[in-house]
Amino acid sequence: MGFNLEVQNYLLHKDEEKIMGYFAGDNVICEAGRKRYVGKIASIGYYREEEGAEPRQAIYIDTTKGRKSYSGEVIMLDDITYLYNDTAEYKSEAVGELIDILHDKWDCLTEQEKDRAGKILMWFWNLAEQKS
């Protein structure tokens, strides 16, 4: 298995530094092959790709972005190369980094650029709050 995951009714990832648990309902960033999925773990279990095939350990990630349609992906555990628990703390950290960058360049910005930067920051913050 590429990312060393164990499945129960949760996922458990162990490496040299830490042990990390992932549960249904967690917001995650998942990479499998060359694709990246951002969403919420909706289900953890087994999946048959074809009738009669052996079931494989998999997760289903709800990748829905809006309210009018739903989307999701079944990802086989052996295909996962990266899995990150996308918590509110991580989002706050990302917004904090944006603030640091703006703080360093603030004096060089025009009033119009400062206004736009503030609106963009508020948009990111509101987006992070909606996903939490």
Enclosing domain of residue 37: 5-85
Give the sheet arrangement for strand 80-85, strand by strand.
72-76, 56-62, 35-47, 27-32, 80-85
Q: Where are the alpha helices (DSSP H) in the chain?
A: 88-105, 111-131
Same domain, 44 and 57: yes
Same domain, 10 and 67: yes
Give bridge partners of residue 7 from the DSSP assignment: 11
**pLDDT value, residue 104:** 78
State the burial class of residue 34 (Cβ atoms within 10 Å of its Cβ: 0-12, 13-18, 19+): exposed
**pLDDT value, residue 126:** 64
Same domain, 121 and 72: no
**pLDDT value, residue 75:** 95
Ranges of the chain whose pLDDT falls below 50: 1
